[in-house]
Amino acid sequence: MDSNDRDLIQTSAERILQSADLHSIDSTAASSTARDNLWATLEENGFTKICVAAAHGGTGASFADGLVLAGLCGRYALPLPLANTVLAGYLLSQTGITPPSGGIACIIPDGIMSRVNHAEQCSHAIDIVSRDKQPFLRLFALGDSEPLANGDDHVALFDSSTATLVQSIPTQTTARTYTALGALSRAVLMTGAMQSILELTLSYTTGREQFGRPLAKFQAIQHHLSDIASETAAATAAIELASEAIELNNNAIDCTANTELLNAIAVAKIRCGQAATRVAANAHQAHGAMGFTHDYPLGRYTRRLWQWQDEFGSETSWSIELGHHILDSNPPALWPLLSA
């Protein structure tokens, strides 16, 4: 898919998101009808199956193309499981399975209860496990999950050990690749959210006056703004490097054999996680008490930044992974990685 096609995808999806009242839909007290209607619109326009092969009822775009939608999900703090469904659809289609309708959650197989965000739109869940050194993709029926009372993002708890297993199929995608793709998706989500936080903070501080001049004219506020902008730019650059690493491999994604691709994704998740901490802190400082009110949109973005930081591995866990890859090289490849 060329850049014109990607621009068309972005423009079409953005038109749908701009017309939706996402702040109201995001409310824990909101009617599920509004969420269902928005999800139906995204499904009808083919966005939930954008990375699914044409033979399985999808558009046939690459995973790198699908990351465009993940960026929009972050930019609008979309209260729906679109990014997870795009990833799950890609993995199911690569394994030769036609993805089921509805949202699909991506579960980390860690033997404990897993969070399923936006559970009301999810009909199924997937994970990847290894048996006798052979990876298997598992598809579960999510069933009628009961969201946690007053939980952000309408969270339900999922236990794969007791869930209904629909299919378990040998796959070429390893658990490491599955986790890396989930981490890259979260990094792209964070970058999109940070871009909106920067715009929101600039708008607020230039429009609100104190002592007869805009907040943005005060040096302390300018420091917050410059920090947000520089961290967002660094995170964006890390995402671009990871996307380029995928495209250099002709969109063949195997993070078990291709350590350079895994390293690029690790750097992206680490850098975006570090940036998310600083961007959220500086944005709330610049907004003062306004940033903590329920009716102001900043909280929608920063809440999800903190959530995405830990999903599919925190910056600490990915830093350890990256360190092992560098030290296990012969000779250790720290300087080539820094100077590339």
Tell me: the pLDDT tens digits for 182-220? 999 999 999 999 999 999 999 999 998 788 888 889 999
pLDDT of res. 161: 79
130: helix, coil or strand? strand
Tokens of 233: 């730019």
Share of the chain above pLDDT 90, in %: 57
pLDDT of res. 209: 76
Q: Which among 34-38, 146-150, 293-297 has the top mean pLDDT? A: 34-38
pLDDT exceeds 60 at position 145: no
**What's the rounded Cα separation, in Å, for the pair 326 and 339?**
14
Share of the chain above pLDDT 70, in %: 90
Give the 3-state DSSP-derived string for 134-160, with helices as H, strands as E and coil as C: EEEEEEEECCCCCCCCCCHHHCEEECC
pLDDT of res. 5: 76
Q: What is the pTM of this model?
A: 0.92
Q: What is the CA radius of gyration of the chain?
A: 20
Buried b (16+ CB within 10 A) or exposed e, 200-226: bbeebbeeeeeeeeebbeeeebeebbe
pLDDT exceeds 80 at position 281: yes
**pLDDT band, residue 147 (cuts 50/70/90):** low
**Which has the higher per-residue pLDDT, 246 or 340?**
246
Mean pLDDT, residues 26-37? 76
pLDDT exceeds 60 at position 148: no
Which amino acid appears at position 317 of this protein?
A: S
**pLDDT band, residue 256 (cuts 50/70/90):** confident
Please state, rounded to an integer, the average pLDDT across all residues of the chain.
88
| Cβ neighbours for 82, distance < 8 A, ≥ 6 positions apart | 42, 47, 48, 69, 73, 103
pLDDT of res. 13: 93
pLDDT exceeds 90 at position 279: yes
pLDDT exceeds 90 at position 111: no
Domains of the chain with bracketed CATH = 3-173 (no CATH), 176-339 (1.20.140.10)
Mean pLDDT, residues 69-83? 95
pLDDT of res. 7: 84
Q: Indicate left, alpha or beta for 61 from its phi (over 0: left) and psi (-120 to 50: alpha).
A: beta
